[in-house]
Amino acid sequence: DIQMTQSPSSLSASLGDRVTITCRASQRISSYLNWYQQKVGKDPKLLIYAVSSLQSGVPSRFSGSGSGTDFTLTISSLQPEDFATYYCQQSYSTPWTFGQGTKVEIK
Amino acid sequence: QVQLVQSGAEVKKPGASVKVSCKASGYTFTSYDINWVRQATGQGLEWMGWMNPNTGYAQKFQGRVTMTRDTSISTAYMELGSLTSEDTAVYYCARVLSGGWSDEWGQGTLVTVSS
């Protein structure tokens, strides 16, 4: 199975901050890397698919980058509604594994 | 609009089975795969398997999970047997696009396993 490791596991940031979350795969996964946002008590929401494609309706302050095994989710200017947990997921090969999550909290 | 509506919460005893349903609307049900993902309280997301109607299950659940669908009512099902307390979790269904990402999710079904 492909292991997905996110860092950090949690972070504290202020409104307007630039936030970066990284995700590393245990082997190369081409461009099959996706990012989800999950708020407490809610189902996950697709933010970014195929490394850098923004899902319809997602604000442009979210962006994704990376290749091979190392990927990044960036929030350019943190907004109140962005406080949530973020998960990366590889869809290169089954089982389609998720990272352990990064919780973004208010500083 | 696209919607996935799951069945309600369940309480089961250890050793029992649970069957969760996921009714799709707003799109052509047979044109997309369905994933099942679970999340224990305070934990991360765990992929269980997919169906389209072929199925693929995570090794962890092989022999214990069955995913089916009824196209006449646009509904997918996930049945998990031999339940233990470790299976207490929220179970989600999700629509899968061709690249393997899930763009629409059900609201989740809480399954509690307790004696």
Residue of A nearest to B96 (CA): A91
What percentage of residues in chain A have a pLDDT greater than 90?
Answer: 98
Distance from CA of A97 to the nearest CA of B (A): 6
Closest residue in A to B39 (Cα) is: A43
A96 → closest Cβ in B59, B100, B108? B100
CB A6 within 8 A of CB A31: no
**Tokens 């989800």, residue?**
A36
Instruction: Give whole-number Cα distances, B107 to A12, A37, A55, A80, in Å.
Output: 28, 14, 19, 23
**Confidence check: pLDDT of A29 > 90:** yes
Looking at residue B112, what is its pLDDT?
A: 98
**What pLDDT does A11 receive?**
97
Interface contacts A/B by beta carbons within 8 Å = 61
Q: Is B100 on the interface with A (CB under 8 A)?
A: yes
Three-state secondary-structure class, residue B61: helix
The string of pLDDT tens digits covering residues A56-84 is 999 999 999 999 999 999 999 999 999 99
pLDDT above 70 covers a percentage of chain A that reads 100
For chain A, what is the mean pLDDT?
Answer: 97
pLDDT at residue A16 in the model: 96
pLDDT, tens only, A36-57: 999 999 999 999 999 999 999 9
Chain A residues with CB-CB distance to B105 below 8 A: 43-45
Q: Looking at CA atoms only, how far is residue A79 from chain B in angstroms? A: 22
Q: What confidence score (pLDDT) does residue B33 get?
A: 95
Whose CA is closest to A5, among A95, A93, A90, A106?
A: A90
As a whole number of angstroms, the distance between CA A36 and CA A26 comes to 19
Which amino acid appears at position B93 of this protein?
C
Q: What pLDDT score was predicted for residue A106?
A: 87
Q: Which residues of A touch B102 (CB under 8 A)?
A: 36, 44, 46
pLDDT mean for each 10 residues of chain B (115 residues): 98 98 97 97 96 91 96 97 98 95 98 97
Smallest Cβ distance to B99: which of A36, A38, A91? A91
Residue B48 carries which DSSP code?
E
Question: Tell me, what's the pLDDT at A68?
Answer: 93
d(CA A88, CA A29): 12
The predicted pLDDT at position B52 comes to 84
Q: Are A88 and A99 in contact (CB under 8 A)?
A: yes
CB atoms within 10 A of CB B57: 20
pLDDT given for residue A48 in this prediction: 98
Distance CA A97, CA B45 (A): 8
Question: What is the predicted pLDDT for the residue at B53?
Answer: 81
